[in-house]
Amino acid sequence: MAHSLTLHPDRLFPAEPSLRAIARELYATVAQLPIISPHGHTDPQWFAANAPFGNATELLVQPDHYLFRMLHSQGVALESLGIGAAGVDPRQAWRVFARHYHLFRGTPSRLWLDWVFAEVFGLGVMLDGETADACYDRITQALATDAFRPRALFDRFAIEVLATTESPLDPLAAHAAIRAENARPGGWQGRVITTYRPDPVVDPEFEGFRANLDALSALTGEDCRSWRGYLAAHRRRRADFIAQGATSSDHGHPSARTADLAPQDAEALFHRVTKGRPSAPDCELFRAQMLVEMAAMSLDDGLVMQLHPGSLRNHNRGLFARLGRDMGADIPTPTDYVHSLKPLLDRFGNEAGFTLILFTLDESAYARELAPLAGHYPCLRLGPAWWFHDSPEGMRRYRRAVTETAGFANTVGFNDDTRAFLSIPARHDVARRIDCGFLAELVAEHRLADWEAAEIAQDLAHGLARRAYRL
């Protein structure tokens, strides 16, 4: 028996009636604000080519590690979803997903997908084994129409700006094509910008690191096997990214460690990690030094710096060997910020022209370290609840942990950090509802006036991200 799919208008608001009423009023002021998506991982080629998306599986399941990590935990072979396996029928893969959709009860993935099914595709029934084919057909048929091409959906979702994330080795051809389209008389005006993510050429433990340095040399004309040439190559590539709209860089390091070595020591370290088999301590020290080098470059060229530490990537060795990176096997680790960031903050912490946005997977650091740091250093801002904590309860914990010490102004609103394009408005809607619920409590307790809460709600939904990312 098929179950109806409905989205309650008061979902995620506080259950207490008076709080719910306040939250509802606040939400009405932000529900239709344009979306600022300053950090994400969607494919810029979608918007450059504007070709139709293929089918429901290709668009909604295969790019989303939130989904297939849960399925893998329940013994579903990723190859059965068409991940790392050629020739898998996408309809059959969708049936596998649909039969297991109940696994997502209580998770944010369920919230996001139900929103997409109901609001984007107009599905009136819940996805399960019985409704799999009907849902697949409805979605896939819609994707073949002009109204569901990438640019049309971008405009429908009221996205003001969307940042993607590229490696320094990316030629940025898709972004160049988008900017050419923007400049064409009568051309599409969607603002899609890039973000500089240098991990493949700053992490000596990244697979193919030395070959990546050679590719960077070829791309920039600099000698990336020399320290000076390597730094010059970064500056060239950052300038290329800025020319394609970039306003930020992003750094996904295992830890938040930074180092400020003397120039000769930094050069000697560079030679050690680019020759032979570098030790793990040298690899960690080099990543730490490169965070300070990137901060110095940010002070020169204005890129906002984002640090996403604390994930042990590709924890499942067998899965990594079989299918490669980003298979949902990244696991949070404890992260120190107070001691790790001190070399960087000693040098740049009071610089008005420098911004470092900090994220964490270690929630214990919010009240103990991150909020006090951001509540003091002019350069620091706190990113939103991230990754495993990008959820209703994670967002609530975040607000309760950081607001009293860092306030709202030292945070950056919300970013969706997703590969799943259609989930972007769903994720922003969840964040807006949770923030309005939190603000409703402050109003009800007479800690904020209602007009102040309305101003803050606008900032959390739009203004803070726009200002922090210099958009």
135-174 pLDDT, tens digit per residue, is 999 999 999 999 999 999 999 999 999 999 999 999 999 9
Question: Residue 471 above 90 pLDDT?
Answer: yes
Q: How far apart are CA 340 and CA 310, in angstroms?
A: 12
Q: What is the mean pLDDT of residues 215-219?
A: 98
Question: Residue 323 above 80 pLDDT?
Answer: no
Q: What integer pLDDT is reported at residue 63 of this predicted model?
A: 86
Q: Which two tokens stand for residue 345?
A: 């903050």
Q: What integer pLDDT is reported at residue 455 of this predicted model?
A: 98
Question: Residue 316 above 90 pLDDT?
Answer: no
Residue with tokens 């089918």: 55
pLDDT tens profile 18-65? 999 999 999 999 999 999 999 999 999 999 999 999 999 999 998 888
pLDDT interval class at 289 (50, 70, 90): very high
Q: What is the mean pLDDT of residues 76-104?
A: 94
Cα separation values, 326 from 63, 314, 316, Å: 10, 7, 11
Q: What is the mean pLDDT of residues 386-413?
A: 97
Q: How far apart are CA 208 and CA 206, in angstroms?
A: 6
- pLDDT more than 90, % of the chain: 92
- pLDDT more than 70, % of the chain: 100
36 phi/psi in degrees, rounded to 5: -100, 115
Q: Please choose, from the candidates 383, 389, 320, 329, the residue with its C-alpha nearest in 3D space to the C-alpha of residue 355.
A: 383
Q: Which two tokens stand for residue 237?
A: 């590539």
Of 212-221, 327-336, 377-386, the range with the lowest mean pLDDT is 327-336
pLDDT interval class at 269 (50, 70, 90): very high
Q: Which two tokens stand for residue 240?
A: 């290329």
Q: How far apart are CA 133 and CA 136, in angstroms?
A: 5
Q: What is the mean pLDDT of residues 323-341?
A: 89
Q: What integer pLDDT is reported at residue 294 of this predicted model?
A: 98
Q: What is the mean pLDDT of residues 11-19?
A: 98
Residue with tokens 């270690």: 362
Q: What is the mean pLDDT of residues 291-319?
A: 94
> What is the layout of strands, in order, in the sheet containing 192-193?
35-37, 159-163, 192-193
Q: Which domains does the chain have, with CATH numbers?
A: 17-52+146-468 (3.20.20.140), 53-145 (1.10.2020.10)
Tell me the sheet residues that pair with 162: 37, 192
Q: What is the mean pLDDT of residues 346-373?
A: 97
